[in-house]
Amino acid sequence: MVANRIPLIAGNWKMNLDHLQAIAFVQKLAWNLTEAKHDFGSVEVAVFPPFTDLRSVQTLVSADKLPLAFGAQDVSEHVSGAYTGEISAAFLAQLECRYVIIGHSERRTLHGETDEQVAAKVAAALAHDIAPIICVGETAEDLEKHGPSAVPVAQLRAALAGVSGAADLVVAYEPVWAIGSGQAATPEQAEQVAAALRAVLVELLGDDVAAKTRILYGGSVKSGNIAGFMREPNVDGALVGGASLDINEFASICRFKQHVGL
């Protein structure tokens, strides 16, 4: 983590919490962090609820002027048309989504999402001024066969195929072998891959974009291990899964600066 990149702690709720539960959660999270005097200007906090919750979250955040960002868990590569069940970036933009998660490992494995689809979704998000959080990561088999950064680097290259200029984006390294396992990567492992990913950003998009782009770590992130990751120069935040459903735990992760003295 470097000073000129504001850390981002993003909570991916996956298929949890209906719209009423989402309202209660966001209210309590905002209160918890505000009561703890969290500096939202120095550590950005974002939540990623299911699609059915987004309008409720948007209304609450806007009406109460809550200092939280929010986004969607996926987006269609198509703008409009006969694509039953798809959600276009234009719809997300109307809901004031700041971010959208693209290429999450669960989308790649459970839905067969390809690198080409990920690239198309990234382009769709950027076309509507939504910052994509591009997820990359390797399985245990990939790790053994190719080493720690080969697969994430290849996935990022593919995702950025149609991107040029000063794109506003985020990259999330989520080793598939660590997700939900309780066994996170070490900070050193996360830094090694994050540094390789930043090198790709330099090569494809230039020094300025690479310098401002935040690279997150995701995979069994907890309040007890976030400090180690955030001490690494190329790790700028976390994409939090299961722990983001526990308000106190997630708030503690967001407040890593206070409880570890960074």
Please list the active-site residues: 104, 174
Cα separation, 201 vs 184, in Å, equals 25
Residue type, 113: E
Which alpha helices (DSSP H) does the chain contain, by range?
A: 19-35, 54-64, 89-94, 105-110, 115-127, 140-146, 150-159, 187-205, 207-212, 226-230, 247-254, 256-260
Cα separation, 70 vs 246, in Å, equals 17
Cα separation, 190 vs 208, in Å, equals 22
Which are the contacts of 201, defined by CB distance < 8 A and separation ≥ 6? 156, 160, 171, 209, 210, 213
